[in-house]
Every structure is written in C-alpha cells, then in structure tokens.
Structure 1
Amino acid sequence: MALAGIPLDFVLFALTLAGVALFHHHTLAVALTGLAAIALFKLGFGDFGGVTGVRGLVQLLGHEWVILANLLGLLLGFALLADHFERSGLPTLLPRYLPDDWKGGFFLLVIVFVMSSFLDNIAAAMIGGTMAGVLFRKRVHIGYLAGIVAASNAGGSGSVVGDTTTTMMWIAGVKPGQVFEAYAAAVVALVIFGVFAARQQHRLQPIMRDDPVDAFFEPARLAIVAVILLAAIAANVFFNLYDVQVLDRWPVIGAAVWVAIAATAAWRKPDWSLLPGALRGSVFLLALVLCAAMMPVKALPDPSWQTALGLGFVSAVFDNIPLTALALHQGGYDWGFLAYAVGFGGSMIWFGSSAGVALSNMYPEAKSVGAWLKAGWHVAVGYVAGFFVLLALLGWHPDSLTR
C-alpha cells in the first residue's frame, strides 16, 4: 500500500517523526503511538523483512532485541555514570585549567571529542553535559548542547571503538585505518561548530572563572567511572577479537556496564532515583529504533560520495545502525566517508543519535527539533564542510568489501 507512490509504512514513520518534532513535550507518547500504528499496519497489510504476520514480527524482535537491550543498558548505566562523575568534584576543578572566555567552552568540546575516540559516544556526551552544567551554572545554550552531541559523535566516527557503527564496520572486516580517515573531516567540523557553539554559550552564560568555595575532589567516584567505562570497552574489544558471534546473540556490552555498577555499588552508592527519568528517554529512543527497523529498506542507491553525503542527513531521522548494515551488505563504499557520514550526521537533530537522546534526558529543553535546528545550525554547516574537505584531501576510494 502506498500514498503518492510512497509506501504507507514510510508515511507512518514520517508522521511519527513529525509528531516528535511538533509535540516535543510528549515525545514518549508520540513515539509509542507511532510504533503501535506501524506494527499494526504491517501485521495487517505488510510484512517484516519478507515474513508476514505475527511470525514476521517475532522474527524481527528476535533479531533486534540484542541492539535494543544493549542501548537500554548503556543509556541507564551511563545516567548513573554521569552522576558519579559529577559527584567526583572533578568538573568544579576545570576552571583552573580552561580559559575564562569563549575558548573555555571550545576546549570543553575538544575534551568531549577526544573522550569519544576511546569511550562510547553516549558516555562522552553525558560526561560533557555534566561538566557543562557545572561550568555554566546549569545555563547551557541549546546550540552548545548540539555542539556537545556533535563533538561526541564526531570523535567516535574515526575510531572502531568509538561508535556502534564503526564497530560494526570493524566486525565486518573494515580495517581501523580506513575508518581513521574520517578524522580528516571530523576535525574540520569540530573547529566550525565548536567555535560557533562556544560563542553562543559565552553570550548566554560565561564559563565559571574561579573555583567555587565548596570545590572538592572524590577520587573514589572517578575510579568508579573508570571501572564502568573499562568494563564496556573490555567487553567490546574482547568479544570482537575472540568471539564475534556473542555480540550478535547477547547484549554483553550493556550487561558489562551493569556488572561494573553492581560491583562498585557498595563502594559508593549510585543515585538510583535517576533511573525512572532515564528510562523514559531510553524507551523513547528504543521505540524510534524499532520503528526504523520495520521500514522496508531493501537497498540503498549505488555507492558514491553523493550517496554517502546524503546518508549523513538521512541518519538524522533514520537509525544509523540499519543504514550501516545495508551499506556493509552492499559494499563499494569508501568506509572513511561512510563512518563520518552515519556517525556524525545524526547530530543534526536531537533524536538523531543515542548521544543526543541521552543528553536531552539531562536537558529537557533540548527536546525541540525547531529549537535544535535554529540554535545548532552550525552542526549541519560543519558536517558539509568536513565532508568536502575529506573529499578534496583523500578523494573517494571505494572498497569492494561485502558481508
């Protein structure tokens, strides 16, 4: 069934995204309503990857549950991690080392960028949001929030352990050096959006100039943050190297985070009261991911740099994990370009990446597509500029890798 030549399930998904954009105070209800409408339509009139009815839905859920469980574990776990980091007192000490003007905000984005190269981008964004909340006395510009998300996604785009999409490429046989090329674009983008975002923030609320009188440092909290992050990294790297199939069958990365949280809870008690709020934002993201997984996307356009550029914009509204899977299956891409496009493109809308959803849980005022696009326009400019710098410097060199 189609409307004006467009499959009706795509129309329903577009209406869901439009509802999220228009009714940003009711995003969870809109997302769940859209998910229910799409599932009911496909049960009655469509199929799930070629399999009809309840059997097709069960098969889809059986395939997607690992991704969904990993995301849930990471989003909830990193909400507690960010709180541990804030309560460590380290953010209150940063004014000693950051410049007092707009450059302080810029260097904070650089820190987030670097962290995301070896941490999960969700953790980098939430740590960046926590530090910004302290340094700017809880008055954070939406354009700067977009900059934090963009920095976390850009920093992960060139590292095979920095983003789920680049890890997928690594598993499929893409060499780390091919993904690393994305940094040629990501650094350019960081400079562009970072300067504009930092200036926006400085005009709204300058950075804290001196240490507050109650500044403190609790190494134990920071050690717990390190344990949780190392658990996630170790699970990812270990199973990638020795048993790839485990990552496909079980949510080991999310589970590793919660094992670390449980193991350190007696040392310093987490703030469990944060979980209900984090759960709402997490369910919203999982609903959108599942909606995207139900879409009948059977093929992408022929691989080219133009297609890769377009995928960056598509990833702002369409989950980048299935996009990456399709591109790997299709083959013929320059993987550095693809890593940058799908890794960074989601930053252009607040729900376009899991990092954006996680940060918006901390700053609910960011849950407005209009406000995000208006204040964070520099993210799209940085994306395009970085892409063409990469094209000019390295050129398009497609690889024949197929899954």
Structure 2
Amino acid sequence: MLSAVIACFIIGYVVIVFEHPLRLDKTVPALLMGAICWALLSLGFNSGVLDVVDGHEHLFSLADHAGDHAMSHEEAEEGFMAALLHHLGKTAEILIFLIGAMTIVEIVDLHRGFDILKGWVRTRNKKRLLWIVGILGFILSAIIDNLTATIVLVTLLRKLVPDRDQRIWYIAMIVIAANAGGAWSPIGDVTTTMLWIGKRVSTAGLMEYLILPSIVCFAVPFFVASFLKPFQGELMGVPVVSKEELKAERLLSSKTMLFLGLGMIVFVPIFKTITHLPPYIGMMLSLGVVWLVSEYIHPEEDFTEERKEAYSAHKALSRIEMSSILFFLGILMAVAALETVAVGEVGALRAVAEALQSVIPDQNIVVFILGFLSAIIDNVPLVAASMGMYDMAKYAIDDTLWHFIAYSAGTGGSMLIIGSAAGVAAMGMERIDFIWYFKKISWLAFIGFAAGAAVFMAIETLF
C-alpha cells in the first residue's frame, strides 16, 4: 500500500510537469493526487497495513504487530484524523493568506493603480529601460509577489515596447528580477510564504540573510545583459506620452488605492511581529481595510451607484485565479500524505531526508540541487516536501538550511521559463518559446543563481 501512495504521487507529479503537452490544467491532477493519496493512506491504515505519524511525531498504528505502539481502535482513529486536520489547517493558512493578497491586488488593478507606474518609466534608452523595469520587478515582487509583479510589468511593457521581438527580451529578464525579488520577502513568493507561515523563517531573518544574495542574483545577469546587443541603442517607434495624457488615463482613486493596497500588504509582517498572530489574520485585516475604502472612494468625477460594481471587491474576487488556489490545495495535501505515512518510526519524507544525509552529507549541495530541480518541477511541492523532510527540533526557525531552501527554490526556477509562476505567466502572456528562453536567457539566470548561492554560502561561513 505504501508503494501505491508513492506511485500515485509520482504519476500525478509527472502529469503536472507535462501539463502543456497534455493540454490539461495542472489543477486537475493536483486535486486527484491529493484526494487519492489520502484515500489510499486511509485504506491502508484501517486495514493495519500502514502506520501514520502526526504533526508531533507520534506514531499511530492498527497493526497486530504494533508492539510498544499498540493502541485501541478509537485512539488510532483519532490520531489519524488529527494528522489529517493538522495538515489541512496548515494548508488553509496558506490558502487564506493567498486569497487575501490576490484580492487586494485585483482591487488595486480595478482602480488602475498600477497605471501610476507608467509615469515612472520615461526613457527610450534600451539599457536604462532594462534597469528601470528590472528594479521595479525586484521591488514590486517583494511586495505583491513575483507572479503579480510579472503580470503588471508585462502589461506595462506592451505599452512601452511595441516590437514583440524586442519586448520578450525585457520580459524574460523581468522573470529573473521578479524571482530574485520574491526570494527575500515573506510575501514575495508562495514558497517563502509557506516557510514563513510554517515558522521555518522569520521576516527579519529572511531579509537579513537573503537580501544580499537576492540582489546579487538579480544584478549579475542584468549587468551582463546590459552589454548584449538587444539592450544597446535607442527604442524606435515608441510613442511619447505626455504627463497630461498619463493623468487622463488614471482614475481619481488610482494613486490612493495603489499606495493603500501595497501599504496594507506590507503591513501584514508588521502585524505578525506586533501581535504574534498567524499571518493570515493580518491579511484578513488588510483585506478588510482595502475593501472598506473601495466601498466609499469615488474613482470617477461623475460616479454613480450603477458604476460602483465595476470597482467593487466583489468583481475583484471574481477575477482571482481560484484554479491556482485549488492547485495549491491538492499539491500541499498530497505532500502532506507523504509526510504522514510512516516508514519505520518516521514519516516517508523524513526517511528520504535521512537517506540523502547519508549519501550527500553536505546539505548545501542538496539544497543547491533543489534549485535546479525547481526549474523543472514546481517549487511549491519541492518546498512542501523539504519542510516535511527536516525536523524542526534539529533545524529551528531561521536556521541557514531554511534560508538556503527559500533562496534556491525561489530563484532556481528562473533557469527555465516553466520553472516558476512568473515564468509561466510571461510565457502565456507573450507566447515566449521554451527553446528561445533556454538558448538566450537560461545561462544568464544560472550565473545569477550561482553567484547569489556563492554569496549566501560565504555569508554563512563568515558569520
């Protein structure tokens, strides 16, 4: 039965990896994989074939040969359900947080808040434009997450660079900047958010240890790219938009909602630090404030009750990607099943970690390889698996292991266009070819990833 659980996970994972050739939304195999893994685990447990481990490392068994672990049927059932509810609770924390953040971003977008950014980019010099949009991507991704930052900047570049062949070079570089920017912020990437909510990293620790490696990961490829031919000279055919025209495109509420939305998202880590409450509580508060303001603010001069629906939070909620939320639900619960099924005295993922430790004693090498894997495989399940592999009693909050995992999983995905949410979004919006990205951009992403990793390990060694 253990083999069946593992086989179900592997098959589901393969289908997710090949979602594009199969033309199947990855949410479908994720949901099926999560449900079937737990179903197999329950059947195996109730028949006495499988043992389970809860979130506190307690072993529960219905097997006849349980020995010291022998217990009543009721106790074992309670233990199994407690393990399931524990993992569902941890997953729900992440999903509620993401739903709140995504809704705030959509409210800001409805009020054309991100159009303010167009006024900050007024140059025809290709090299200067590269650094401006790169820095914007790096900073924005740390605030509104790398996926949303990429979508915002792709939309902006469509207006700034009409020539698609030229534009995709900038967009590909934004993917690198957005992933690097998201790695040092607890709200910048789903994986760092998972580690933060899972109490593996703190806001201050993440920023302290990863800000410099992330800057290097961003700056090195951009510095090299600035000498490449696509970023030399001036942009041709770009219309000059006056400040008056830019203001005319905005709404009365654009600036207010932009700074309120970004400010309330940034407030979440501050709220957690002050109150010591889980991050999703702070996100609920922030969403409530933004929603409240959006109900009473007037986006237009002649604002009527009939126009209110166009800028409402209800419309913003209808625009968030629920398929992504359900994907995370399925994949995280599937990984939780592997964390729960017992191999000997520990969960299956912990057993894998112990086996890796015996084969590759240097954890930095293991985590560095994780960065390459995140370019091929979705980094969400990789980080979820790593959280189950290593014992928090041995690797406490802000241990360098967790910081290096956050860096590797967050930035390693830039090496392939399909390796991160930001890359997939850019690929979908601009139809960027996988082979083109691999030939032109992957080497830039690699040198940035390797340089940042070297800086991280140097800091670890010295301090």
Instruction: Identify whether the pair has TM-score above 0.5, normalized to the shorter chain.
Output: yes
Deviation at 1:254, TM superposition (A): 5.6
Q: Aligned residue for 1:234? A: 267
Q: Deviations over 1:35-70 (max 9, x none)?
A: 214422441356797479994655543331121122
Q: Aligned residue for 1:15? A: 14
- State how far apart, in whole Å, the 1-side matches of 2:86 and 2:417 are: 30
**Which of these two proteins has the greater Rg computed from alpha carbons?**
2
Aligned residues: 384
Q: CA separation of 1:182/1:62 partners in 2, compared to 1, >3 Å: closer, same or farther?
A: closer
**Is 2:307 aligned against 1:287?**
no
- State how far apart, in whole Å, the 1-side matches of 2:170 and 2:446 are: 14
Q: CA separation of 1:359/1:67 partners in 2, compared to 1, >3 Å: closer, same or farther?
A: farther
| Matched AA of 1:70 | F
**Is 2:292 aligned against 1:225?**
no
In structure 2, runs of 5+ residues without a counterpart are 46-51, 55-75, 300-307, 340-348
Asked if structure 1 preserves the Cα contact closer than 8 Å seen for 2:146 and 2:422, the reply is yes
Deviation at 1:395, TM superposition (A): 4.8
Asked if structure 2 preserves the Cα contact closer than 8 Å seen for 1:95 and 1:211, the reply is no
Deviation at 1:258, TM superposition (A): 5.6
Deviation at 1:76, TM superposition (A): 4.0
**Is 2:240 aligned against 1:211?**
yes
Deviation at 1:86, TM superposition (A): 5.9
Name which of 15, 35, 40 aligns with 2:36: 40
Q: Aligned residue for 1:79? A: 106
Q: Aligned residue for 2:406? A: 339
Name which of 151, 162, 177 aligns with 2:177: 151
- State how far apart, in whole Å, the 2-side matches of 1:345 and 1:260 are: 34
Q: Deviations over 1:174-223 (max 9, x none)?
A: 583564332333233223433576768659x9477552267322463022
Q: Which secondary structure state, in structure 1, belongs to the residue aligned with residue 246 of structure 2?
A: coil
Deviation at 1:351, TM superposition (A): 6.0
Q: Aligned residue for 1:322? A: 384
| Matched AA of 1:333 | T
Q: Deviations over 1:287-344 (max 9, x none)?
A: 1453144122523344621122122233442316525644572516355533322332
Q: Aligned residue for 1:136? A: 161
Asked if structure 2 preserves the Cα contact closer than 8 Å seen for 1:74 and 1:257, the reply is yes
- State how far apart, in whole Å, the 2-side matches of 1:275 and 1:371 are: 35
Asked if structure 2 preserves the Cα contact closer than 8 Å seen for 1:149 and 1:359, the reply is yes
Name which of 420, 445, 449 aligns with 1:383: 449
Asked if structure 1 preserves the Cα contact closer than 8 Å seen for 2:220 and 2:448, the reply is yes
**Is 2:370 aligned against 1:304?**
no
Q: Which secondary structure state, in structure 2, belongs to the residue aligned with residue 216 of structure 1?
A: helix
- State how far apart, in whole Å, the 2-side matches of 1:229 and 1:341 are: 26
Q: So what's the TM-score if we normalise by structure 2?
A: 0.67
Q: Aligned residue for 1:267? A: 298
Q: Which secondary structure state, in structure 2, belongs to the residue aligned with residue 212 of structure 1?
A: coil
Q: Deviations over 1:4-62 (max 9, x none)?
A: x9921331232222332424xx453x431342144224413567974799946555433
Deviation at 1:155, TM superposition (A): 1.9
Q: Aligned residue for 1:257? A: 287
**CA RMSD in angstroms, aligned pairs only:** 4.2
In structure 1, runs of 5+ residues without a counterpart are 399-403
Asked if structure 2 preserves the Cα contact closer than 8 Å seen for 1:180 and 1:336, the reply is no
Deviates more, 1:107-116 or 1:167-176: 167-176
| Matched AA of 2:153 | G
- State how far apart, in whole Å, the 2-side matches of 1:194 and 1:209 are: 23
Asked if structure 2 preserves the Cα contact closer than 8 Å seen for 1:119 and 1:161, the reply is yes
Deviation at 1:148, TM superposition (A): 2.0
Q: CA separation of 1:328/1:252 partners in 2, compared to 1, >3 Å: closer, same or farther?
A: farther
Deviates more, 1:38-47 or 1:107-116: 38-47
Asked if structure 2 preserves the Cα contact closer than 8 Å seen for 1:142 and 1:372, the reply is no
Deviation at 1:151, TM superposition (A): 1.3
Name which of 199, 206, 209 aligns with 1:181: 209
Q: Aligned residue for 2:95? A: 68
Q: So what's the TM-score if we normalise by structure 1?
A: 0.75
- State how far apart, in whole Å, the 2-side matches of 1:82 and 1:220 are: 11
Q: CA separation of 1:108/1:31 partners in 2, compared to 1, >3 Å: closer, same or farther?
A: same
| Matched AA of 1:382 | G
Q: Which secondary structure state, in structure 1, belongs to the residue aligned with residue 214 of structure 2?
A: helix
- State how far apart, in whole Å, the 1-side matches of 2:89 and 2:206 are: 32
Percent identity, aligned pairs only, is: 19
